[in-house]
Chains A and B, each alone.
Chain A
Amino acid sequence: MSERRDLQAQFERILSEHGAAISRLAFGYETVASVREELVQDIALAIWQALAHFRGDCSERTFVYRIAHNRGLSHVWKRRPPHQPLEEMEESDQPIDPRPHPEEQAAQTNQRARLMSAIQSLPVAHRQMIVLMLEGLSHAQVAEVLGITENNVAVRLNRARNMLKDALGERP
């Protein structure tokens, strides 16, 4: 009984610490807010199911990201939504920015929406790479999450980054 209580405490701590990251990762896989909320819950549920078997052979962060990406991947298969163009991005998806100037706020929201739209237009493998890079994972951690070598991470990352620039229209 106390083992379960410990597990639940650990789970709640993981959700508090990594909840925002899980939501961001879900953003990479789903554009519709209500479905994304479901996906976030699915990821959390998968973490709960796997937590009892977590023996600390990788960092907790890597563990969470692995599960989140794997769930995201199965979600892409289940949903297979067409890439949502920028103009269809929901206003409600964007958190309210506390900046005082409405024009600045609008510009920032627009940039964010562009970035999101560009990420979502990438192939799944590149998308994962970009998302992990934006989350600030080291090459070693990315390699651990994706199951590839560190050298491979560097090559893929460069390619994914160029693709993102293309999608954003930032490359000549």
Chain B
Amino acid sequence: MTEDRELDIWREQWSNVAEPPAGFQRKVLQRIKRQERRFVLGNVLSVIAFLGILVFAWVMRHQSSWMGTGWPISVCVLVFIAAGIRIWVLRRTWRPETQSTRAFVELWRKRVAARIQLLRISLYLSIGWLIFCAALMAVNWPIIGQDARAHPKEWVALLIVCVLMQPVLLWYGAGWLRRRKLAELNEVTKILNEMDRIDVS
């Protein structure tokens, strides 16, 4: 069999492989609408949450302790810092779909590496946050101490929730995510190496 005849047969078989699923266009358009609604809703909720924290800080400004204003303002600062770091670390890693496969895989690798870096920064940020909260508590101890002595059970519960939940949620969660991202990085590197090997051989 000549090569071209063989190719023709393969092409004929291939051309009959699949048709778009029934109602394909309608389903896609519905998904686009759903995604756009989710996007708008997500943005609105983020703005509401941020404004809520600001309003809370404003309402608490007359508190005698730092705790009242310090906590919500620090949350706002934390949100700003986290968003800034995220934008900085993930810069130039968006919209890779339109590029050639090679460029896409390279960008994919860069994106995964950026996410791993982001996880590491998040971990440092969470440790910094814990230290900040501890310092805030120490400065306000004369007021907090009285309350803690009056309601020891509630304070122990609060301490457990605040101090233990962070390592459990962040460190274990971040650890799991990091392992996943490292595996993805290995896989992407493998795909890139496979491309290089083909090019070299």
Contact = CB atoms under 8 A, between A and B. Distances in A.
Contacts of A145: 100-101
B54 interface: no
A27 B31 contact: no
A115 B10 contact: yes
Interface residues of A, number: 59
B16 A97 contact: yes
A66 interface: yes
A112 B104 contact: no
Interface in B115-162: none
Interface string B1-35: 00100110011011111111100110110011001
B199 A20 contact: no
Contacts of B20: 15, 19-20, 22-23, 40
Interface string A98-132: 00000000001001100110000001111010000
Given A24-B17, A41-B28, A148-B102, 16 more contacts: A16-B25, A20-B19, A22-B20, A24-B15, A37-B21, A44-B24, A48-B32, A50-B95, A50-B97, A53-B98, A66-B101, A71-B97, A97-B16, A135-B14, A147-B99, A161-B3
The 6 closest A-B CB pairs, nearest first, are A147-B100, A147-B102, A19-B20, A134-B14, A23-B18, A44-B28
5 contacts: A19-B20, A73-B104, A95-B16, A148-B100, A148-B199
